[in-house]
Chains A and B, each alone.
Chain A
C-alpha cells in the first residue's frame, strides 16, 4: 500500500483492469512483494490470526443473523432454535460465541507483544492508536453481542454496563434513557444493540484496513527493534510470512476447535441459559472474562463516577503510550529493567482479571485497589522514569547481525514466557470458574456419565428410561418447552423410530386453534408439536406451587452449575470435564433429607435439600423407590431414576452433542495433519533465511 507499484500482470485481461484500477499491484505490493523483517518470531503471527478471526466472526455472524429474532420475547428461544433446528446451527453458534473469546485472547497477545517490543514507538504511533481504537470497538461489539441471547447474564450485564453512563454528572440519566430507548433495559434496547452489533464489525474491518495501511507505510517492527537497512534484513511477505502465518493460524485453530467441539460452555456462564427476567437479579453479575480486569478497576474505587472514569482511563491511557515511554531503545529484549516491569505488568493484569470475578468484599477490595494503583503506575510512573534512568544493552547494528548472533541466549525469555503464560491460563480459568461459583450448598458428587469425554455418547437405555421418568413424574410440574416429539426420533437421541415418536405424540392433547367458529380446540399431538407445559403461564405455575415456579427443564443441565474450586477448573480444561450441571441435577434429586440438621431453619412449605443452595427447596421429594416401573430390568431405585432422568435432560439441553463430538474428532485429525504440513513447508521456505 505504499506508493505506486511497478507490478504488471501477465494476463492481458488483468492488464486491462490494472491500467484502470491498479488493484492487483496494490495486492502484490502489500501481500506478496512487501518486505518483512526476517527475524520476526511467532508472536507476530497474531496479526494474521486476528484478521482470520474477524473474518470468521463476520461470516458466522451474518449467517446467525439470518436465523435470529431480535425481540425480547423471542430472542432467547430463537437462539435455542438455531442450536437445535438449523443445519449445523450448533456449530455456527459455538464458533461465534467461542470465537469472541478467542478474538480477545489473540488481541491481548497482540497488544502485549506490541508493548514488549516497543511497537508503538516512533514512527508507529498512529498505527498503535488505530489499534487501540479497534480494541475499543471490539469491546463495544463483544458487549452488545453478549446481550443478544437475552439470558439472565445478558440482561443484567446490559443493565450494569449501561448504568455506568448514569455516573456522568447532569446528562447521565438522559444518556442512559437514550441508550435504552425506554425506562429500563427492554425490547428497544435489544433491537438497537442488535443493529449496532451488526454494524460495528464492519467499522472494525474499516479501521483494520487503516491499521494495515499504516503498518505497511511504517514497516513492521521486529524483536530487535532496529529498522531494516539492507535487502539482507528482509524477506518477501509471500511465501515467507504467509506460510508462517498459516502455521500460526493452524495452531490457533487447534485451541479454538478444542473449545468449539469439546468445551463450548467452559468460557460462558450457566446463568445465561436462564431466559432474561427483569424481576430477579442473579447473585453474581460477572462480565465475560475479557472485561474482568477493567471491571475490577471499576469496582475497586468507592466513588461511582471516579470508578467509571478510572475504568475508561485504563484503556484510553494506551493511546498516550508512545509519549509516556520515550526510551530510544524499542525492544525490551535490550532493556533489562523494562523487561522485568513488563512481566510484572502482565501479572498485575491477570490478577486484576481474577479479582474482577470475585465478590467485592474484604481482602478482594483492598487487593483490587493496590493492583489498580500498580496498573496506572506502570504507565504513569514506571515507563516515563525508566526511559530516563535505564541503561539499555547495546542493540545490534542490523537485523541480519541479530539473526546471525542468535544462538544460545534464547532460553531466558522462553522460560519467563512459559511461566507467565501458565500463570495467565490458570488465573483466567480461575476467574471464569469463580464467575460460576454459587453460594451455599454442598458440592455434588461427581458421577460417571456415558456422555462425558471426547467420545462420549448418550446411553440409549438411560434416555428412554429418563423420558419415562420425566413423563410420569417431572412433567406434572415442569415444562420441557424446547423439545418436540420429533426430536425423540432424531439421531443422537433416545433412538425411537419416526412411527414410535408419532405414537408417543398422539398420547398428548395439544391445544390448537382458533377453528372456523373462532374457538380453541384440543387435538391429539403430532410429531411436530412440542411437549405441552403443565401450566398455562408462569403466574399459574407460581400460584400452584407455593410461590416458586418450577423451572423449564429443557436446559436445566446447562443452566445449573457450581464452583469447582482450585485446582479442578484448570484440570477440567484438559480433561474436558463439564458435567457440573448433570452432577448438580442428579445430586439435588437425591439430596432430600427428612431430618433437618441442627442450626438450619427451613421455612414453612419448603423442604431440606443437602445440595440446593441455601438448602430450602420448594419442590417436595419427587422420587421414591419403585415409583416408576422399568421394562428392561434396571433397578427401580431413586439413584437409578435420578441418573436416567439427568441423562435424558442432558440430551434435551444438548441434542446434538454426539454429532458435535464426532465432528470434533474429524476436525482435530485434519487440523493436526494440516499444522504439520504447514510446519514443514514453512521450514523448507525459510531454510536459507535463518
Chain B
C-alpha cells in the first residue's frame, strides 16, 4: 500500500523562481501535495529570529541552521503544522511567523515552534540554490 510508481514520479524535484517575490512577501508552492512556504524575510524578521536564545526554544534549532548561508533572507519551510497537519497562516500570530488556526500553534519568523501543542519546528524541505534567484526543491 505504499505510494505507487506514478505518485513517486510526480514527487520529483521542482524549480521555483524567486525573483518576483519582494521583501516581506511570501509565496506558497505545492510539492508532493504539500504546501511549501517561501518567505522573503525582512531584516527585522531575521534579527528577531536570531535574537532568541536557542536553548529556550521547545525544539532548539538556530535560525542559521534552517536557512542556506548567503541566502539568509529566504526561509523555505513545509507549511504543515507538526501537530496534526493543518496549514498554518503566514504573517500571523505573536512571533511574526506562522499561526495554525486548528489548535493554536504559533511559529516564529524562522518557522520554529514557539507556543501551542505542536511538538516540532516546521520542517525544512530538501532544497538547493541553483542560482541566486532560483531554487530547486526536492
Binding site for B on A (CB under 8 A): 156, 159-160, 162-164, 166, 177-186, 188, 192, 278-281, 283-285, 299, 302-305, 307, 359-361
Contact = CB atoms under 8 A, between A and B. Distances in A.
Contacts of A177: 2-3
B102 A285 contact: yes
B32 A184 contact: yes
Nearest to B86: A281
B24 interface: no
Contact of B102 (A160, A166, A180, A183): A160
Given A279-B35, A303-B119, A182 B101 contact: no
Contacts of B13: none
Contact of B84 (A164, A179, A180, A305): A164
B4 A281 contact: no
B28 interface: yes
Contacts, number: 78
A179 B3 CA distance: 9
Most chain A CB atoms below 10 A, which of B28, B84, B86, B119 = B84
Given A181-B3, A360-B104, A159 B85 contact: yes
Nearest to A176: B85
B117 A183 contact: no
Report, as a range, how many residues of chain B touch the other chain: 20 to 34
B86 A184 contact: no
Interface SS majority for chain B: loop
Contacts of A299: 103, 117
A275 to B, nearest CB: 16
Given A156-B102, A186-B33, A361-B104, 6 more contacts: A160-B84, A163-B84, A181-B7, A183-B34, A285-B86, A303-B119
A305 B30 CA distance: 28
A304 B119 contact: yes
Given A281-B86, A299-B103, A303-B119, A181 B4 contact: yes
Contacts of A179: 1
Given A181-B7, A183-B11, A278 B35 contact: yes
Name, among A185, A192, A304, the residue most crowded by chain B CB atoms within 10 Å (CB to CB): A304
Given A278-B35, A281-B102, A192 B1 contact: yes
A376 to B, nearest CB: 20
Given A183-B33, A279-B35, A188 B4 contact: yes
B83 interface: yes
Contacts of B32: 182-184
B117 A160 contact: no
B87 interface: yes
Interface of B: 1-4, 7, 11, 28, 30, 32-35, 83-87, 100-104, 117-119
Contacts of A156: 86, 102
A160 B3 contact: no
15 contacts: A159-B84, A159-B85, A160-B85, A177-B2, A181-B2, A181-B4, A188-B4, A188-B7, A278-B30, A279-B87, A281-B86, A281-B102, A304-B117, A359-B104, A360-B117
Contacts of A188: 3-4, 7
Given A283-B101, A304-B117, A181 B1 contact: yes
Given A156-B86, A159-B85, A160-B84, A279 B28 contact: yes
Contacts of B104: 359-361
Contacts of B118: 304
B3 A182 contact: yes
Nearest to A301: B117
A143 to B, nearest CB: 14
A582 B28 CA distance: 34
Contacts of B7: 181-183, 188
Given A183-B32, A183-B34, A359-B104, A281 B2 contact: no
B2 A178 contact: yes
A278 B33 CA distance: 8
Nearest to B31: A183
A303 B100 CA distance: 17
A328 B57 CA distance: 53
B70 to A, nearest CB: 29
Contacts of B100: 281
Please name the 9 residue pairs, one residue from A and one from B, whose CB atoms are nearest each other, closest first.
A184-B33, A183-B32, A163-B85, A160-B84, A281-B86, A159-B85, A281-B87, A163-B84, A304-B119
Nearest to A359: B104
Given A164-B84, A279-B87, A281-B87, A302 B4 contact: no
Nearest to B79: A279
Given A177-B2, A299-B117, A304 B83 contact: yes
Contacts of B2: 177-178, 181
Contact of B3 (A163, A183, A280, A359): A183
A163 B33 CA distance: 15
